[in-house]
């Protein structure tokens, strides 16, 4: 077995620290190995351990709850051997980036775990959609990570003055969030981004085609991620050969690339929405009514800020839209979770104690 200091020196570049080691203590006593998930696909995952990357089966830690599925960035306890070898547990997450899987279902999908910086990539090759940036930022804040916006493909913007204006527009929609213009093609702005992602774990988020993989390659300094051809931007029918979604950067820090997302639905992101629209929530404290909807109530500080031009009407519309979307998803989730719990209890009652004990005996 690898010594504690061996584990530390091998896994520290991946973010292993004393707190993770403490959390891992009971698993070490069980003879399990610590490791970080660098890739997940179809019931299997690749885990980097002190002895190298091992492939492990996630069946044991894949309950029906999609929020508890192992994902890239998780720290796990993996069996020392066996065929297949199993991931036996994952350590409690510090942060998790979750979106709702689709508008029809109310499941959350975990895209990355234990992330310190959520880097939202927004392409300057297409018209800026501030509403979409705000939606990504709501989820980014909600994850517990510090959001950063990277405006990619800055080389496609003709002049520096226009670029500066675009950066300002985004800054006005992203209180508390650094905004950087970057070109992976020319290298402009990369130093600023490297400084931000140089410690801790960063996840690259954004629509497919935003330039995330190109950016990852530029940060790593070699072609480790698949970049799709410009004509195939929606990626239909394309096989991705990426071997890892989690990489150690040569200058320090860990980077997680996510698959291209068509869009992200909010998932229980009330406080995230509040942080994206911090100035609106601040104004709302001065509304006459505590539960002011900022529609037609008298003494509404938010509406009067719109009237005076202090607050852009677009910001208020976007805020309303995301608050409504979030309330809807939360209501739907609660109903579903309640129904599921009822079914679960019925099933457990029917199966009886013996079979539950069999399951426990087998797995623990």
Interaction partner, residue 292 (Mg ion, Zn ion, ligand GDP, none; CB < 5-8 Å by kind): Zn ion
Interaction partner, residue 27 (Mg ion, ligand GDP, Zn ion, none; CB < 5-8 Å by kind): none
Nearer to Mg ion, 21 or 224 (CB): 224
The residues binding ligand GDP (CB under 6 A) are 152-153, 155-156, 183-185, 206, 208-214, 227-230, 260
Is 218 a residue that touches Zn ion (CB under 5 A)? no
Q: Say if residues 297 and 289 touch (Cβ distance below 8 Å).
A: yes
Nearer to ligand GDP, 118 or 323 (CB): 118
Closest approach, Cβ 178 to Mg ion, in A, equals 22
Is 287 a residue that touches Zn ion (CB under 5 A)? yes
Nearer to ligand GDP, 201 or 213 (CB): 213
Interaction partner, residue 184 (ligand GDP, Zn ion, Mg ion, none; CB < 5-8 Å by kind): ligand GDP
Interaction partner, residue 302 (Zn ion, Mg ion, ligand GDP, none; CB < 5-8 Å by kind): Zn ion
Applying CB under 5 A, the span of 214-222, 245-253, 299-307, 348-356 interacting with Zn ion comes to: 299-307
φ/ψ of 80, rounded to 5, equals: -70, -20
Cα angle 156, 153, 231 (rounded to 5 degrees) comes to 85
Applying CB under 5 A, the span of 179-187, 212-220, 335-343, 353-361 interacting with Mg ion comes to: 212-220
Is 100 a residue that touches Mg ion (CB under 5 A)? no
Binder among 300, 306, 322, 323 for Zn ion (CB under 5 A):
300
Nearer to Mg ion, 201 or 213 (CB): 213
Interaction partner, residue 272 (Mg ion, ligand GDP, Zn ion, none; CB < 5-8 Å by kind): none
Nearer to Zn ion, 294 or 315 (CB): 294
Q: Say if residues 48 and 14 touch (Cβ distance below 8 Å).
A: yes
Q: How far apart are CA 86 and CA 104, in angstroms?
A: 33
Site for Zn ion in 302-321 (CB under 5 A): 302
Q: How far is CA 234 from the centre of its chain?
A: 21
Binder among 119, 215, 280, 292 for Zn ion (CB under 5 A):
292
Beta bridge partners of 147: 118
Size of residue set near Zn ion by CB under 5 A: 5
Binder among 123, 207, 213, 326 for Mg ion (CB under 5 A):
213
Q: Say if residues 122 and 82 touch (Cβ distance below 8 Å).
A: no
Task: Say how many C-beta atoms besides its own lie within 10 A of residue 19's C-beta.
Answer: 10
Nearer to Mg ion, 216 or 302 (CB): 216
Is 247 a residue that touches Zn ion (CB under 5 A)? no
Q: Where do contacts with Mg ion occur on this chain (CB under 5 A)? A: 212-213
């Amino acid at each position: 077995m690898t010594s504690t200091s061996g584990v530390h020196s091998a896994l520290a570049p991946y973010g292993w620290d004393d707190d993770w080691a403490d959390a891992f203590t009971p698993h070490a006593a069980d003879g399990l190995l610590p490791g970080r998930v660098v890739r997940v696909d179809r019931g299997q995952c690749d885990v980097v351990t002190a002895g190298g990357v091992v492939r492990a089966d996630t069946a044991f830690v894949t309950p029906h709850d999609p929020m508890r599925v192992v994902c890239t960035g998780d720290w796990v306890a993996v069996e020392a051997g066996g065929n297949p070898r199993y991931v036996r547990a994952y350590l409690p997450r510090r942060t998790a980036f979750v979106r709702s899987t689709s508008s029809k279902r109310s499941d959350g999908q975990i895209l990355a775990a234990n992330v310190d910086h959520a880097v939202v990539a927004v392409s300057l090759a297409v018209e800026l959609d501030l509403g979409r940036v705000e939606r990504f930022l709501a989820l980014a804040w909600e994850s517990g990570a510090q959001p950063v916006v990277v405006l990619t493909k800055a080389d496609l913007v003709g002049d520096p003055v226009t670029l500066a204006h675009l950066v300002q527009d985004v800054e006005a929609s992203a209180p508390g969030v650094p905004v950087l213009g970057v070109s992976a093609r020319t290298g402009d702005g990369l130093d600023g981004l490297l400084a931000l992602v140089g410690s801790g774990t960063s996840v690259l988020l954004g629509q497919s085609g935003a330039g995330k993989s190109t950016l990852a390659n530029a940060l790593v300094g070699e072609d480790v991620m698949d970049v799709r051809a410009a004509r195939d931007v929606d990626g239909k029918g394309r096989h991705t050969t990426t071997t890892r979604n989690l990489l150690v950067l040569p200058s320090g820090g860990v980077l997680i690339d996510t698959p291209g997302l068509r869009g992200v639905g909010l998932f229980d992101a009330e406080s995230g929405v509040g942080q994206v629209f911090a100035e609106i929530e601040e104004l709302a404290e001065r509304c006459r009514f505590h539960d002011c909807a900022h529609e037609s109530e008298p003494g509404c500080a938010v509406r009067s800020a719109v009237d005076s031009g202090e607050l852009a009407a677009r910001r208020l519309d976007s805020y309303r839209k995301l608050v409504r979307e979030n309330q809807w998803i939360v209501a739907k989730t609660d109903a579903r979770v309640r129904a599921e719990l009822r079914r679960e209890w019925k099933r457990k009652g029917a199966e009886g104690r013996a079979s539950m004990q069999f399951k426990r005996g087998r797995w623990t």
